[in-house]
Amino acid sequence: MTEDKRAREIEELLPLRRDLQAVDEKLLSLLAQRYDLVLQVKDYKRKTAMPVLQKEVQARKLAQVAAIADNYGQASTITAAKAEKTAKLRYLQLVLRLLMDLSVSEQLDETGLLSCMEAELTHFEEQADGKIITKK
């Protein structure tokens, strides 16, 4: 591949990267707000001797996402659009689950999950480095 072609491809990708940057900035702001709320929940649970893990709350939140995913994932002949929606919903459910687990981890003052996730992400990044998406 020539350097000119690579430069054009990178230039064509810039609008999407700018859009991602804008979304990332919103997400980071919301995640910072969420973290502050987690600390407030932690203080409340400590004062009231309430159990940290509220399985019914987590299950209800995950079921909301899972119910939507089930509507798209159970068809016998699944179209590409439905497969894409299912993948998106699985992604969202995993992100929500991770956020909830990180909240529990923070409330317990337990850093094991963070350390595990950091190690796993580093391993993933090392495996993904230099790989190219191939056409299907």
Task: List, for residues 39-76, the tens digit of each pLDDT value.
Answer: 999 999 999 999 999 999 999 988 888 777 666 655 44
pTM above 0.85, yes or no: no
What pLDDT, on a 0 to 100 scale, did the predictor assign at position 120? Answer: 93
Q: For the residues 114-120, what does the mean pLDDT come to?
A: 92
Task: Say how many C-beta atoms besides its own lie within 10 A of residue 72's C-beta.
Answer: 19
Answer yes or no: are the C-beta atoms of 93 and 62 closer than 8 Å: yes
CA–CA dist 71, 62 (Å, integer): 14
Q: What's the pLDDT band for 1 if we cut at 50, 70, 90?
A: low
Query: Which of helix, strand or coil describes residue 1?
Result: coil
Q: What's the pLDDT band for 107 if we cut at 50, 70, 90?
A: very high
Per-domain boundaries in the chain: 1-50, 52-136
Tens digits of per-residue pLDDT, 81-93? 777 777 888 888 8
